[in-house]
Structure 1
Amino acid sequence: MAEEEAKPLAYIAETVLKKRKSTEAFALARKAQLETGGKYEHNKKKKKEIHDIKRPEQFVKEFRDQELDLIRMKQRGKRSKSATVKPKSELLFIARIQGKNDMHPKTRKILYNLRLRRMFCGVFVKASDRVLQMLQKVEPYVTYGYPNLKNVKELIYKKGYGNLENQRVPLTDNNIIEQALGKYGIICIEDMVHEIANVGPHFKEVMTFLGPFFLNKPEGLLGKKQPYKDGGEAGNREDHINELIEKMN
């Protein structure tokens, strides 16, 4: 009887073999996990879900905090203009350091108008009566002062992003700046720094292009809503804002 021809072994790709091995290893690990700590993890998850449910007392407290915030905001808004310190510089840097559930919607709206939509973000603004009135109303949630040229430059270089076609674009190429601001004679980062630091004629256009700066959380929680001059963290820091910028940049 003639010997039968040997059949070639079925070829299995290496990637398929690796996938089988990893799937088997995962199945064994999952089985061991369920046998040892599965019940504990299930109970832990269940407790977490229970804690996530808000009690009526929490809603009442949040509502009262918001109403109290509105009353205080109106009181701050009634301060006489003589009580408002006249700015020493046309350029202000504002950083949001507070504000979560205890804010009234009107307070949040003012912060949004200042483009401070999240904690630990900052913007450059031109000092005006309108801006100072807004800052007076939201003083417990922000701190501000007069940035120097060094910090203006470092903020733009390290944290600067441009708004181009409704997208945040890092300022890695001067062509991006020229494309957005070239018609105003601003074609590079140094031109932007000069325009902002000197509050030039196209300051508004530059700040419209330049998005808010997302800053680092400084060491030590900024938890005191009292004015900076009274030992707190909020309000006008004047030239001392530069120390905070260096910590958050």
Structure 2
Amino acid sequence: MSFDPSKPSLVPELVLKKKANLDRLSAARADRLKANGNRKVFKKNGNVVKIRKPETYVAKHKGKVNGTRRFERVQKKGLQAKKKRTGSVVEKVLDKSTGIEVDSDDEDASSIDKEIVQLKSNSLSYPSVFAVRIRAGDSSTPSNVKKALNALRLRNQNEGCFVRVNEQNRRLLECCEPYIVYGALGEDVVKELLSRRGYAKVSVTGESDSEAKPERIPLDNVIVEDHLSDSTGCICVEDVIAEILNPGENFRKVNNFLWPFKLSDVDGGFSKRKLKMISNKVEDYGDKGEAMGEVLKKMM
């Protein structure tokens, strides 16, 4: 008996109802997963319980143990390999119009006006650096790393601040290196950063004089003169830039006056630090030296 497409066979009503019920249950299950962060859940006594595999806890515990060991080793001995690279220079191909690094082998970038510049690969010889936190903390983050990040005023992801380079701060930066990226900035980059993302931390008194809440106010010359002229002698934003680039006795007051900079994430995000890393791969974290200006331009 040949099949006639003009006369399709009828599907039983029971099969159609079963298919409709399965589709409805599948859609409801997908909605529940989406609402709970794509994690399987079930209800017990009216409470939602999340299901997590034991391997997840084991991996996080291993990461926490390895992070604690690294922190203690670096805090005691420091990064000896980094000190040997003092003064090392790398060549980079930059776009003349934007100043951002481009790939010289990329065919699409052949029409771009490029220039080759020499940059220091580390910031050991600079009096101050700018640090940005690129990883958020979780249960696998050691407590001593969290304390060090709080000491650097890097409490949230994609927050940045200026750090004066001394032995204590240098050791803190090295201990938190997998979570941050830092380097030296030029005067033009600092000026652009303050103009676009600069905010001041001004204390505003509440109902009682004893209560003073910090308020985030856009940075300008008037704010600087009103709150820093008496204590530090800074009367404009240019004085703040000079104090940041050449730290003096008023660097701590000026730096605390600036609210931590809230930056945007780079396209594609930063790569995560793993135990088995390729030796010739360039990491997205750590000391970038003079190339920090290119990273910061992508985040502004």
TM-score, with structure 2 as normaliser = 0.63
Other-structure match for 2:296: 245
Give, in angstroms, the shift of residue 156 of structure 1: 0.8
User: In 2, are the aligned partners of 1:227 and 1:236 still within 8 Å (CA)?
Assistant: no
CA distance in 1, matches of 2:246, 2:169: 18
Give, in angstroms, the shift of residue 161 of structure 1: 0.8
Amino acid at match of 1:94: A
Distance change >3 Å, CA 109–CA 54, structure 1 → 2: farther
- Secondary structure in structure 2 of the residue aligned to 1:163: strand
State yes or no: 1:100 paired with 2:97.
Answer: no
Other-structure match for 1:220: 268
Q: Deviations over 1:85-137 (max 9, x none)?
A: 36211011111112432311111111111000111111111100001111111
- Secondary structure in structure 2 of the residue aligned to 1:78: helix
Q: Aligned-pair RMSD on alpha carbons? A: 2.7
User: In 2, are the aligned partners of 1:228 and 1:236 still within 8 Å (CA)?
Assistant: no
Other-structure match for 1:55: 52
Give, in angstroms, the shift of residue 240 of structure 1: 0.8
Q: Kindly, what percent of the aligned residue pairs are identical?
A: 28
Other-structure match for 2:259: 211
Moved more, 70-79 or 181-190: 70-79
Other-structure match for 1:30: none
Structure 1 residue runs without a partner (length 5+): 1-36
Q: Number of aligned pairs?
A: 212
Amino acid at match of 1:231: V
Other-structure match for 2:104: none
Distance change >3 Å, CA 240–CA 161, structure 1 → 2: same
Other-structure match for 1:66: 64
User: In 1, are the aligned partners of 2:153 and 2:161 still within 8 Å (CA)?
Assistant: yes
Amino acid at match of 2:215: Q
**1:12-51 alignment, distance < 5 Å:** 43-47=29-33, 48-49=35-36, 51=40
Quick one: which of 164, 169, 192 aligns to 2:240? 192
Q: Greater helix share, 1 or 2?
A: 1
Give, in angstroms, the shift of residue 62 of structure 1: 2.4
Moved more, 221-230 or 94-103: 221-230
State yes or no: 1:232 paired with 2:283.
Answer: yes
Distance change >3 Å, CA 177–CA 97, structure 1 → 2: same
Q: Greater strand share, 1 or 2?
A: 2
User: In 2, are the aligned partners of 1:227 and 1:234 still within 8 Å (CA)?
Assistant: no
**1:110-129 alignment, distance < 5 Å:** 110-129=148-167
User: In 1, are the aligned partners of 2:129 and 2:165 still within 8 Å (CA)?
Assistant: yes
User: In 2, are the aligned partners of 1:122 and 1:213 still within 8 Å (CA)?
Assistant: yes
Structure with max Cα Rg: 1
Structure 2 residue runs without a partner (length 5+): 1-22, 42-49, 87-123, 204-213
CA distance in 2, matches of 1:55, 1:244: 36
TM-score, with structure 1 as normaliser = 0.75
Quick one: which of 212, 215, 220 aligns to 1:167? 215
CA distance in 2, matches of 1:84, 1:70: 20
CA distance in 2, matches of 1:237, 1:134: 16
Q: Deviations over 1:15-73 (max 9, x none)?
A: xxxxxxxxxxxxxxxxxxxxxx9987754443344536252623343233212211122
CA distance in 1, matches of 2:79, 2:282: 23
Amino acid at match of 1:46: R
Amino acid at match of 2:32: K
Other-structure match for 2:178: 140
